Every structure is written in C-alpha cells, then in structure tokens.
Chains A and B, each alone.
Chain A
C-alpha cells in the first residue's frame, strides 16, 4: 500500500463546475496535510493546508479532512481553465527530527472551457 494515494486522473470537469480531488493516507499518526498545485513544467505551489478534522475554506478552495477515515480532499468551486494542473496531496510523516512530507503521485485536473 502506498503511503499517500491519489487517482492519477485525468479528472475532466466543465468550466464553472466543482472539481473534487481525493487523497488517502496510511500513517494514522499524521497531523499535517497539504495540497500543492503543479502546472506543467513548473514547481509545486502550496494552495491549502489543513490540520484538524472538518472543512477549511480559502476562496474557491475547500480542504476537507477526516482522520478517522484517513482521507483528505480538495474541492474547487467555479472551476476555471486556469485551474488545470496536477494537484499533489502531501502528508507529514512524523519522525521527530526527521519529520518529512510524503507526496502522492498527483491528480491531473483538466477544466474544459
């Protein structure tokens, strides 16, 4: 089992729709969860972080965390063609001084105009 799993996609949604991206993780003691956006040929860019169960909203983005189910998701409302990118889920792997981020393989989102 991979430590962080995502559907690779592509996930295709029409402009203006809600895009729903999902991620599951295996380490029950993980405390910090992140969503990065990566445009083709560019570096990952942090768009959301979440640490507590429930929803966290920032503009058109909502991150949802359910630690009991070991599940984190990202909703993008009113999707725009400029949202087309690969979305990487990242989860911390606690190791004290060796705390590190484990990334999923990403979901490619394509927003159709």
Chain B
C-alpha cells in the first residue's frame, strides 16, 4: 500500500502552459508539504498545510498555487510554466509539524517536471 502517492510521475510540457500535480496520503497525517528538488539535488520546502490550513509559504512565485481539499490531499497548480520550473516536485506528509520532536516525514515518489 502506497503511503504518499503523487500523480503524474512524469510531466513534459511547453513553456506557458498550466499544469497540476496531485498528492494523496493514507497515513492519517495532519500535515502535508510540497518540496522542489533542483538538478543539484537541493531539496527546498515550498508550502506546508496543516489540517487544510496553509502554514508555510516560502518565497515561491505566485504562479504556484497549492490547494488542500481535505487533510489527505494536497495539490499543486502551476500557471504559465517557465524553463526554471523544471525540477522534481516531492509531496510529503507528517503527523505533526516537520522537524518537531520525534516527527517523521514521509515523501511521495516525486513528479519529474520538464518544461520545454
């Protein structure tokens, strides 16, 4: 059984298009995240939701809009895609807030986005 799942796994698209990535977790966790990992493997948090409420919004262009319809789902919509958006996007979840005492964060398999 997949704990954190993402769709699609691969996404190849043209500059200027709008695309969405979906994430679902079946762990009963309260907190979900989106991370971006660039070509140099640097993994950086973009957004965090706790019980459907946005709690972390890093300095991400407003072309990126997360949505959490319920605490098991966190989607990421990207408008007007740019070449620099090419990366691997990971969804993750944890019971409480990441980095908290004895918190474990579980990652999804990633979505490899290539903007041409």
Chain A interface (Cβ < 8 Å from any Cβ of B): 31-32, 34, 38, 42-46, 49, 51, 86, 88, 90-94, 97-103, 105-106
- State whether A44 and B107 are in contact (beta carbons under 8 Å apart), knowing that A97-B55, A98-B55 are contacts in the complex: yes
Query: Is A99 touching B109 in the complex (CB atoms < 8 A)?
Result: no
Query: Is B44 touching A97 in the complex (CB atoms < 8 A)?
Result: no
With a cutoff of 8 Å between Cβ atoms, the chain A residues found around residue B42 in the complex are 103, 105-106
With a cutoff of 8 Å between Cβ atoms, the chain B residues found around residue A51 in the complex are 101-102
B100 interface contact, C-beta 8 A: yes
Complex Cα spacing A43 to B104, Å: 14
With a cutoff of 8 Å between Cβ atoms, the chain B residues found around residue A32 in the complex are 99-101, 103
Query: Is B44 touching A49 in the complex (CB atoms < 8 A)?
Result: no
Query: Is A97 touching B97 in the complex (CB atoms < 8 A)?
Result: yes
With a cutoff of 8 Å between Cβ atoms, the chain A residues found around residue B40 in the complex are 105
Chain B interface (Cβ < 8 Å from any Cβ of A): 40-45, 48, 50, 55-56, 90, 97-110
What is the chain B residue whose CB lies nearest that of A2?
Answer: B42
Interface centre among A44, A46, A93, A106 (most CB of B within 10 A): A44
With a cutoff of 8 Å between Cβ atoms, the chain B residues found around residue A34 in the complex are 105
With a cutoff of 8 Å between Cβ atoms, the chain B residues found around residue A90 in the complex are 99
Q: Measured between C-beta atoms, what is the minimum distance from A38 to chain B in Å? A: 8
Complex Cα spacing A106 to B104, Å: 19
Query: Is A86 touching B109 in the complex (CB atoms < 8 A)?
Result: no
With a cutoff of 8 Å between Cβ atoms, the chain A residues found around residue B97 in the complex are 97, 99-100
Query: Is B56 touching A98 in the complex (CB atoms < 8 A)?
Result: yes
Query: Is A92 touching B98 in the complex (CB atoms < 8 A)?
Result: yes
With a cutoff of 8 Å between Cβ atoms, the chain A residues found around residue B105 in the complex are 34, 46, 101
Query: Is B99 touching A99 in the complex (CB atoms < 8 A)?
Result: yes
With a cutoff of 8 Å between Cβ atoms, the chain B residues found around residue A42 in the complex are 109-110
Q: Measured between C-beta atoms, what is the minimum distance from A74 to chain B in Å? A: 16
With a cutoff of 8 Å between Cβ atoms, the chain B residues found around residue A46 in the complex are 104-106
